[in-house]
């Protein structure tokens, strides 16, 4: 039987020099914050048996992120892709993912990265868990099987917390926990030689166009503007001691350091 781990992943924009543009495989990649989540799922499968499913919602470039998940070792991959999903905010994304998770069937662990490298909201994991009505723990560092329940360790500020929980359970994995494995070359060959990624449309999930995309989203991005940070270079002069004193005094004025 084993443990069924479902990992929600995202294809993120790697570099968008001029704001939002068309998504291509060249400017997209698997969200780096999702890799530790995939790694955690693969480690659970290796220790407990079972399977790992990768799930993504988004445009077709998501196929590449899913293929990468398969190359890493995931067993199944599903892309929810429909033109009308374009413009969906985090709430709608969570609704769609929750519908997909329900369709996939029984899941023990539902994994997310803590956030995405491009839109950086950190909302989709907890929102999906809430919609599914399953418990959620964020920023998880370690998952292990205890005597009576799963034990989940997370670190908050200077506190190390140990939680007990039963599955099904939704988790986001801390970016520095579970360093992702290097993808083995045979994994790439195998993933692509028989690339099996299911593509689901909105209708497959029993959702309608008016509830998703821009139309169904309670929030929307109305403006996107690059933030320019002014950087000033000031050369300090004098003997080294004078330069250090001037630097300390300056940092003190900025409040970055206590001045003596």
Chain contacts with another protein (rule: CB under 8 A): 25-26, 29, 63-64, 67-68, 71, 182-186, 188-193
Closest CB 185 distance from another protein, rounded Å: 3
Closest CB 140 distance from another protein, rounded Å: 24
Beta strands in 61-216 (DSSP E): 76-80, 109-113, 136-145, 150-156, 159-165, 169-173, 198-200
For residues 180 and 176, give the distance between their C-alpha atoms in angstroms, rounded to a whole number.
9
Report how far apart, in Å, the C-alpha atoms of 170 and of each of 26, 129, 200 are: 31, 6, 22
At 7, is the secondary structure helix, strand, or coil?
Answer: strand
Q: Which is nearer to another protein, 64 or 151 (CB)?
A: 64
Q: Which is nearer to another protein, 54 or 107 (CB)?
A: 54
Closest CB 61 distance from another protein, rounded Å: 10
**8-state DSSP, 182:** P
Closest CB 34 distance from another protein, rounded Å: 15
Q: Which is nearer to another protein, 119 or 190 (CB)?
A: 190
**8-state DSSP, 88:** -
Closest CB 18 distance from another protein, rounded Å: 20
What count of residues does the chain have? 260
For residues 78 and 63, give the distance between their C-alpha atoms in angstroms, rounded to a whole number.
9
- Helix boundaries (H) for 2-144: 35-48, 62-72, 90-104, 124-132
Q: Which is nearer to another protein, 182 or 225 (CB)?
A: 182
Cβ(128)–Cβ(90) below 8 Å: no
Task: For residue 103, give every residue at least 6 positions away whose Cβ sits within 8 Å of its Cβ, in sequence order, or none.
Answer: 200, 204, 205
Q: Which is nearer to another protein, 3 or 66 (CB)?
A: 66
Closest CB 67 distance from another protein, rounded Å: 6
């Amino acid at each position: 039987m084993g443990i069924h781990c479902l990992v929600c992943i995202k294809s993120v924009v790697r570099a968008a020099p001029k704001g939002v543009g068309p998504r291509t495989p060249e400017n997209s990649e698997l969200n780096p914050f999702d890799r530790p989540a995939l790694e955690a799922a693969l480690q659970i499968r290796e220790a407990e048996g079972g399977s790992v499913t990768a799930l993504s919602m988004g445009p077709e470039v998501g196929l590449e992120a899913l293929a990468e998940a398969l190359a890493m070792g995931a067993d199944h991959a599903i892309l929810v892709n429909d033109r009308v999903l374009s413009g969906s905010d985090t709430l709608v994304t969570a609704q769609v993912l929750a519908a997909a998770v329900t369709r996939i069937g029984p899941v023990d662990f539902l994994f997310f990265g803590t956030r995405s490298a491009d839109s950086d909201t950190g909302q989709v994991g907890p929102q999906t868990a809430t919609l599914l009505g399953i418990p959620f723990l964020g920023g998880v560092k370690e998952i292990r099987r205890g005597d009576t329940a799963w034990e989940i360790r997370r670190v908050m500020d200077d506190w190390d917390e140990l939680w007990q929980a039963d599955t099904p359970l939704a988790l986001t994995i801390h970016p520095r926990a579970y360093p992702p494995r290097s993808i083995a070359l045979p994994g790439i060959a195998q993933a692509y030689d028989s690339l099996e990624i299911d593509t689901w449309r909105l209708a497959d999930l029993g959702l309608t166009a008016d509830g998703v995309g821009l139309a169904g989203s309670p929030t929307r991005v109305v403006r996107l503007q690059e933030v320019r940070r002014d950087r000033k270079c000031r050369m300090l002069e004098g003997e080294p001691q004078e330069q250090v004193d001037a630097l300390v005094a300056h940092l003190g004025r900025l409040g970055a350091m206590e001045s003596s």
